[in-house]
Amino acid sequence: MKAIELIPGVLLLLALLAGCTEQAAEDPGSDPAMPQAEAPESRAAAIQRATADIDGARIVVAEAENWLSTGRTYDEQRHSPLDQINRETVSDLGLAWYWDTDTRRGLEATPIVVDGVMFTTGTWSVVWAHDAKTGELLWEYDPQVPRAWGRYACCDVVNRGVAAWKGRVYVGTLDGRLVALDAGTGEPAWDVSTIPPDRAYTITGAPRILKDKVIIGNGGAEYGVRGYITAYDAASGERLWRFYTVPGNPEDGFESEDMELAAATWQGGKWWEVGGGGTVWDSMAFDPELNLLYIGTGNGSPWNRYIRSPGGGDNLYLSSIVAIDADTGRRAWHYQTTPGDTWDYTAVQHMILADIEIDGRLRKVIMQAPKNGFFYVIDRTNGEFISAEAYVPVTWATHVDPETGRPVENPEAHYANEKKRVRPGPLGGHNWHPMTYHPGTGLVYIPALDLRFDFAQDNAFRYVPENWNTGVDLMATAPPPTVEENLDNLAAIKGFLAAWDPVGQQEVWRVQHATAWNGGLLSTAGGLVFQGRADGRFAAYAADTGELLWESPTYVGIIAAPVSYSIDGEQYVSVVAGWGGAYAVASGAPRHRDNVLTEGRILTYRLNGDETLPQPEVTYLAVPTPPAMDYAPEQLERGEEAFHAYCAVCHGPGVGTSGTITSLLYASHATHEIWNAIVVDGAYTEMGMPDFSHALDAEGAQDIRAYVIERTKGMIAFCESSYREEYPELLDTACEIPQVTGS
Ligand code: CA
C-alpha cells in the first residue's frame, strides 16, 4: 500500500502546491502552514484556456505539437508528425524530466498533451495533470476506488488514460464509474456509475469522445458479465444510448433487432446466467465522415464454448469488430474474428483506420491484430473482409478462408474432452499494447507475443460471482513437474516487435526481444519507432529496417505506449513506466532480471536532456527454504485444485514468480504463520488481497499452503539442478528475483 493511495478525500488540489515535490504531495495535510506559492486560479485558468476548445474538429486536425486523444487522432494511428528527433539526432536523446508515481503496479496509460499540459492516469484510476515541460505536478484526482474491488481486476488495477474535451478530462474508474473533471483544477464536475452493482465489472480503458458523447465500455468477462458500451452526454453525464454486445435471456425480450439476430447464434446453453461476455474493455476508433464508431469486443463469458453454447453457433457479437452509428448506437455492420471463441481470443485489440491502396484501389480500411494471431484488413465502410494472415505462430486454425473470411479451425485445438496445447494462449499474439501505423513506410508495427497455453475443460464448473468463471481448468497450464519440461516451458516465452506490411500481409522485419510483454508503440515522422521493453529499457528503432538506434535503462519494465509533443519548438517523447498487467499477475512467467521493479514513473525525453534516473541498488534473491509442514498426498491434491480455482489468477499457475503481486514462493515464515488470517479472515484486504471465506475454511487454506510449500521445494530443486550452468539465462531469471534494496 503506497502512501499516495491512502490520501483521504477525493481531491488533492496540488495546483496550490506549485513547486512542491511529490514527497510533499504524499502528505499534504501534515503541514497546514505550507505556503501557497501562487494563486491557484492563474494556473488553473491557463489550463482551462488551453483545453476549452478541444473538440472533434481539433482532434481531426491534430496539430503536431499536441496529443489530444488516446490514439492521437480518431483513426488511432499513433503517429506523430514531429521530426526534430530523427534517425540522425536520436543518439542525442536524453531524459528531460521524470516523476515518481509512488506505485508498484501496472501503468498502462497513454498521456494526453495539450499546450504544455499532460494528463495521465495511474493505478487505481488516479488522474494526474503535469507541466509537460518540467514534470511539475499541477493536480491529482483520486477517485477512491475501494481496494476490495481490485479482486475483480482480472488484469491488474490498471488504467489506460483519459479523454479531454471542452475544458474537461474524463476517466473511467476501476469500480465502473465515469467521472468528468475540470481540466484546470481536477475537481469533479459529474460522476456516474456505468455498471449494475451486483456484477464484477471493471473499467480500465480510456474513454473516447465524439460529437459531445463520451463513450465508455468495461471489462469483467472472466468473472461473468454481459458486455456493452454506453454513450454519455459530455456536459451533463446523462446516458444517451447503450449497445449490448451479446444477447440477454431471450425470455426477457430483446433490447434491439441486433440482439435478436445475435441470440439465434447462441445454442443450447444458459449463457445469460454467467453473462455471455463480449466486453469492450479497450479499443475504439471513429470515422467522422462515415459517422461510424468502431468497437472491439471480447471473449465469451465463460471462455469455454462447450459450456457457454453447447449446441454450437458463432455467438455474436463476441470477438468482433462492430461498427456502430455514432448518433443512434445501432449496429451498422460487424466482422467476427473468432466465431464461437473458446480460447479467450478477444478482438478488443488496437484498431487502426487508414486509406491504403490494395490491388490498385484506394480502400478505407480498419486493421487489427487481435489475440487470435491473425492480422486483419477489413473494409471499414461495410465490414467486407479483405485479407488476413498469421502474424505469430497459430495452431487453433489453419488459415482464414479468403472467400468467406472465416477461420478454418484445427480440431486439435478442441479441448472439451482432453487437454490441448494451443498457440496463441489467452494473452494472445498481441494484447492491449498499442500498435502504430507509419504513413511514410506504410507499415503497421505490432508489439507481438508468442506464448502457448494448455487448455482443459473445468468439468466441475459452476458460476460463482466472486470467482474467475472461465470453464477452463488453470491447473492444466501450471508449469510442468519435471526439470526438463519446466526448462522447455521457460524457453517458449517469447516477445518481439514486428513491422507488418498490411497490403502484402507479411512481416517486413522483426526485433526479437529478451522476453514477453513489451510496451506499446509510437511512430514518428523522424523515421522512428519507440518502444519501452519488458527488460527495463526504452528504445528507438529505425522504422524502415528495425535497427536499434538508441536505448536507455529505465530499471522497470515498460508496458504503456509513448507519445510525442512539442513545447516552444522543442520535441519531447514521453512514456509511463510501470510493470504489471495480465502477464505480470497471471502468467506465472518470471520477469527479466533487469526489470527490477523500481517504482512507477513518467519518463520524458528530449534532445540533449541531461536529467538522470537514480540507479537502484539491486540484489538477487534465491527462493528461500519454506517452513516445515507435514502433509499427505491427498491434502496436496486438494491444495493444488483450490490454488488454481482461487489463487492462480493473481499468484500464477503452479505458483508463479512474475511480478508485481507477491510471489508466494518467497512468502516469509512470518507470512506462513498468519496464513489463515490473510486467506480466510481478510487481514490484507486493504492491500488488495481479498478474503476467501466464501470458498475456503481454515482447513482449505492450509491445503493451499501445503501446495505452495511443495511447489517452493520443487522450485529450489529446479534451481539447484545441473541445468543451472547449462542454461544460465533461463534459470537465473526464473530462480533469482531482483530486489531493489533500501526501498
Ligand atoms: Ca479475456
Q: How confident is the model at residue 3 (pLDDT cuts 50, 70, 90)?
A: very low
Three-class SS of 176-199: CEEEEEECCCCCEEEEEECCCCCC
**Range from 307-316, 441-450, 677-686 carrying the lowest mean pLDDT:** 677-686
Output the pLDDT for position 737. Answer: 85
DSSP class of residue 292 equals: E
Q: How far is the CA of 75 from the centre of ligand 1 (A)?
A: 25
Residue 742: what pLDDT? Answer: 62
Tens digits of residue pLDDT in 703-734: 999 999 999 999 898 898 888 888 887 888 88
**Per-residue model confidence (pLDDT) at position 22:** 28
State the distance from the centre of ligand 1 to the C-alpha of 433, rounded, in angstroms. Answer: 14
Q: Is residue 702 over pLDDT 80?
A: yes
Q: How far is CA 548 from CA 528, 530, 592, in A?
A: 10, 10, 19
Q: Does the annotation mark 355 as catalytic?
A: no
Band of residue 38 on the pLDDT scale cut at 50, 70, 90: low
pLDDT at position 722, please? 85
CA 205 – ligand 1 centroid, Å: 14
Q: Find the catalytic residue in 131, 287, 341, 344.
A: 344
Confidence band (pLDDT; 50, 70, 90) for 33? very low
Query: Residue 363 has which C-alpha cell?
Result: 480502400
- What radius of gyration, in Å, describes the C-alpha atoms of the chain? 24
User: How confident is the model at residue 732, as a pLDDT?
Assistant: 82
At 245, the pLDDT band (50, 70, 90 cuts) reads very high
The whole-number average pLDDT for the span 382-386 is: 98
d(CA 318, CA 301): 9
Residue pLDDT, tens place only, 625-680: 999 999 999 999 999 999 998 998 888 888 876 676 778 999 999 999 999 999 99
The mean pLDDT value for 594-602 works out to: 93
Average model confidence (pLDDT) for the chain?
91
Calculate how far, in angstroms, residue 299's C-alpha sits from the geometric centre of ligand 1.
5
Nearest Cα residue to 701 out of 629, 643, 616, 632: 643
Which residues, in sequence order, are CB contacts of 562 under 8 Å at separation 6+? Answer: 519, 520, 521, 522, 530, 531, 532, 538, 573, 574, 575
Torsion of CA 410, 411, 414, 417, to 10 degrees: -160
Contact in structure between 323 and 310 (CB atoms under 8 Å): no
Return the minimum-mean-pLDDT range out of 106-110, 271-275, 610-614, 723-727. 723-727
Spacing, Cα 298 to ligand 1 middle (Å): 6
Q: Which of 29-33, 301-305, 574-578 has the lowest mean pLDDT?
A: 29-33
**% of the chain exceeding 70 in pLDDT:** 94
CA of 690 to the centre of ligand 1 (A): 21
Instruction: Calculate how far, in angstroms, residue 348's C-alpha sits from the geometric centre of ligand 1.
Output: 9
Distance 319 CA to ligand 1 centre (A): 10
Contact in structure between 553 and 112 (CB atoms under 8 Å) = no
39: pLDDT strictly greater than 80: no
Q: Is the pLDDT of residue 165 over 60?
A: yes
